[in-house]
């Protein structure tokens, strides 16, 4: 079985999407890119995360060809492939339907630096990509353009997309951006949140590059 370790991680983090409240039902999707093999492990389309096994994970190449697996890949597979083709520092993609992030996406707002953790996005704010139908090539292109050089982007009227060097970091970014999105919405309900300066956020972005334990 190809990419056994990556398959197991997709299954693990698929369950965490539900248990962490980052999606409902079969919403959202995850993938991991193995650069050495030139292959991608991606969650299957429309399957219960708690019923998904490593054998259900689909293996694809960068051209979108099915290499191994009996299940249909996520309908959003183009949105994963485009980042692996165009971003040399991206090896995992996580897409969620988390409530606060989806609310901001429905408003088509960007998320400013209401909290220093916004810096995990790699930028001073999390932008919102232009709308396109789910599963479309246009959505993939909009997501790539919207994210720029960062690691997070809202998908208009849809949800949140995060990327990183591995699935652990991509998932962590998704959790923290959702946390910041909720803070922003609650603050807006009470008054006008004070936004951290660009100068301070540049410092935060530098600090986050060395944050955590080295593997």
Residues 63-71, mean pLDDT to the nearest whole number: 95
**Over the stretch 121-143, which tens digit does the pLDDT of each residue have?**
999 999 999 999 999 999 999 99
Residues 180-206, mean pLDDT to the nearest whole number: 96
**Over the stretch 137-160, which tens digit does the pLDDT of each residue have?**
999 999 999 999 999 999 999 999
Domains in the chain: ranges and CATH: 4-208 (3.40.225.10)
**DSSP character at residue 133:** -
Mean pLDDT of the chain: 96
Which residues are annotated as catalytic?
A: 76
What torsion do the CA atoms of 102, 25, 134, 78 make, to the nearest 10 degrees? 110
**DSSP character at residue 130:** P
pLDDT, position 212: 62
How would residue 205 be classed by pLDDT, with cut points 50, 70 and 90? confident
Whether the per-residue pLDDT at 213 is higher than 90: the answer is: no
**Over the stretch 79-138, which tens digit does the pLDDT of each residue have?**
999 999 999 999 999 999 999 999 999 999 999 999 999 999 999 999 999 999 999 999
pLDDT, position 209: 78
Q: By C-alpha distance, which of 85, 102, 94 is closest to 43? A: 94
Strand partners, 41: 32, 59
The answer to whether 79 touches 143, Cβ cutoff 8 Å, is yes
How would residue 206 be classed by pLDDT, with cut points 50, 70 and 90? confident
Alpha-carbon gap, residue 74 to 71, rounded angstroms: 9
């Amino acid at each position: 079985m190809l990419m056994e370790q990556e398959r197991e991680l997709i299954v693990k983090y698929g369950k965490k999407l539900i248990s962490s409240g980052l999606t409902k039902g079969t919403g959202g999707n995850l993938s991991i890119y193995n650069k050495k093999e030139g292959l991608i492990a991606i969650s299957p389309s429309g399957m219960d995360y708690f019923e998904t096994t490593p054998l259900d994970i689909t293996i694809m190449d960068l051209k979108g060809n099915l290499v191994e697996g009996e299940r249909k890949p996520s309908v959003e597979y183009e949105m994963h492939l485009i980042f692996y083709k165009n971003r040399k520092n991206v090896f995992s993609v996580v897409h969620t339907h988390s409530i606060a992030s989806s609310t901001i996406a429905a408003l088509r707002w960007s998320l400013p630096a209401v909290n220093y953790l916004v810096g995990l996005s790699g930028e001073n704010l999390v932008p919102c990509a232009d709308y396109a139908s789910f599963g479309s090539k246009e959505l993939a292109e909009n997501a790539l353009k919207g994210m720029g050089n960062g690691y997070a982007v809202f998908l208009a009227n849809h949800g949140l997309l995060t990327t990183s060097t591995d699935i652990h970091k991509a998932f962590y970014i998704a959790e923290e951006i959702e946390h910041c999105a909720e803070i922003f919405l609650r603050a807006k309900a009470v008054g006008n949140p004070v936004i951290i300066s660009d100068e301070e956020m540049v410092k935060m972005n530098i600090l986050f590059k060395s944050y955590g334990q080295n593997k």
